[in-house]
Amino acid sequence: MRALWGETRALWDKGRALWGETSAPASPRPGWRDWALVGVLVPAAVLEGVLRPDVPSRALSLVVGVGLIPTLLWRRTKPLLMVAIAFGTLLFTQVWMLVLGGGQPGLNMMVYMLLLPYALFRWGSKREAMLGLPVILVPAVLSVPLTSTGPGDAIAGLAILFASMALGEALRFRAYARARQLEQVKLVEREQLARDLHDTVAHHVSAIAIRAQAGLAVSATDPAAAGEALRVIETEASLTLAEMRSMVRVLRRADERAGLAPLPLVADLHDLRGVGAGPAVDVEITGDVAGLAPALSTAVYRLVQESVTNARRHARHASRIEVRVAAGEQSVHLRVSDDGDAVHPRSGSSPGYGLLGMAERAGLLGGSLSAGPNPGRGWTVTAVLPRNGSAS
C-alpha cells in the first residue's frame, strides 16, 4: 500500500511539474515568412472556393477557410488562443450545419490548420498543450461521422494530426536540449574564468602578507622601509579588489578549488608552436604585454589556445596558423587566422560550442569576439579586450 501511494505521489508531482512548465521562447511578432505564407494561402483558398465545383456550403466554406488563415500569424506567440479560435470555429460550423441539415463546410486548402497543433506543442507550454488537445480532437473526431468518412481515411487523418503534434513536441525537446548544452558551455567557461581569477587574487594576497610581515619586522629600525612596504600593500590591495570584483561578476560562488599549476600568460603563447600536430603556428606579440593584469593575460592565452586548437582540428588542408597579439594603451587585440579551405566546418548556421565559450569569456571581461571565414581561404578569429579587464 505504501509503495502504491509513493508511485501515485510521484505521478502527481510529475503532472504538476508538466502543468507548470513555461512556454518555449518565440518571436514577439509575425515575421515576413508568416506574412508570405498568408499571402499565398488567401488567394489559393479563394480560388478553390470559387472554382471547385463540389465545395459543400460554398459561402460558409469560403468564409471559414479564408477567415482562419490569419491565425497562422500568431501561432507562435499565442498558440492556445489560435487553436481555440480555429478549431472552435470548426466545431461551431459542424454543429450549425448539423442543425440545418447541410453538408459540412470545408476546403482542401484548410490542411494549413495542421500548423496550429504543431505550433501548440512546439511553442506552447505543457499546460496549454493539455488544454488544447481536447479542443483539437473534438471537432476532428466529430467530423468523421458527419462527413461519412471511411475507417481508413479517418485513421489516416487522425494519424496525420497526431504526427503534426508529435513533430512539434520533438522539435521542442531538441530546442531545449540545445539550450541546455549552450548554458552548460557558458557555465564551464565562467567556472574556468573564475578559477583563473581566483589564482590571481591568491597571488596578490600572498604578496600583501609577505610585505606586511616585512614592514612589521623593520618598522622599529627603518621607518622608510616600513612606509615602502605599506605603499606596496596599497597597490596589491587595489589590484586584489579589482580582481575580486571581476570574479564576483563572473560567478557568485566558485565551488571548485584552483589548481596548483601556474596560470599561462601571453608570453607563453610561443609554447603553442610545439604543441600538437597539424599546421605550423606563427606567433607574433607586440606592445607592452608584460604590464597586463594576470587575469587579462590569461584570458588572451585561453582565447588564442582555443582558436589554435579549433584550427588544427577543423581547418582542412591548412598549412599555417598565424597568431597576432597587439597590446595597446586601452585594449588588447588578438587575431588567429588559418589558410585552410574556404568551406569551413565551423561556418554553418549555428556556431560551435567552442566559439560560444570563447565569446562568453570575452564578454565577461568587457570585450568582444568574432569569427568567420576569410574572403579567400581560411578562417579568422578576432577579439578585443580592454586592458582594465573589467567584466561587463
Give pLDDT tens digits for 135-191: 998 888 887 777 667 778 788 888 998 999 999 989 888 888 877 777 777 677 666
The set of cell numbers assigned to 104 is 459540412
Integer Rg of the chain from CA: 32
Low-confidence ranges of the chain (pLDDT < 70): 1-28, 101-103, 147-148, 186, 189-207, 209-211, 213-220, 226, 234-262, 274-278, 342-354, 389-392
For residue 19, what pLDDT is reported?
52
For residue 40, what pLDDT is reported?
93
Outline which parts of the chain fall under CATH 1.20.5.
Answer: 179-257
Contacts made by residues 136-143, CB under 8 angstroms, sequence distance 24+:
136/83, 136/87, 136/161, 136/165, 138/87, 138/91, 139/87, 139/90, 139/91, 139/94, 140/87, 142/91, 142/94, 143/90, 143/94, 143/104
What's the one-letter identity of residue 86?
A: A
Outline which parts of the chain fall under CATH 3.30.565.10.
Answer: 266-386
The pTM of the full predicted model, rounded to 2 decimals, is 0.52
For residue 81, what pLDDT is reported?
92
Task: For domain 266-386, give the CATH number.
Answer: 3.30.565.10
For residue 41, what pLDDT is reported?
92
For residue 290, what pLDDT is reported?
82
For residue 258, what pLDDT is reported?
39
The set of cell numbers assigned to 127 is 499546460
* Domain 179-257, CATH class in plain words: mainly alpha
What phi and psi, each to the nearest 5 degrees, are found at residue 281? -110, 125
For residue 49, what pLDDT is reported?
86
CA 290 to chain centre: 36
For residue 260, what pLDDT is reported?
40
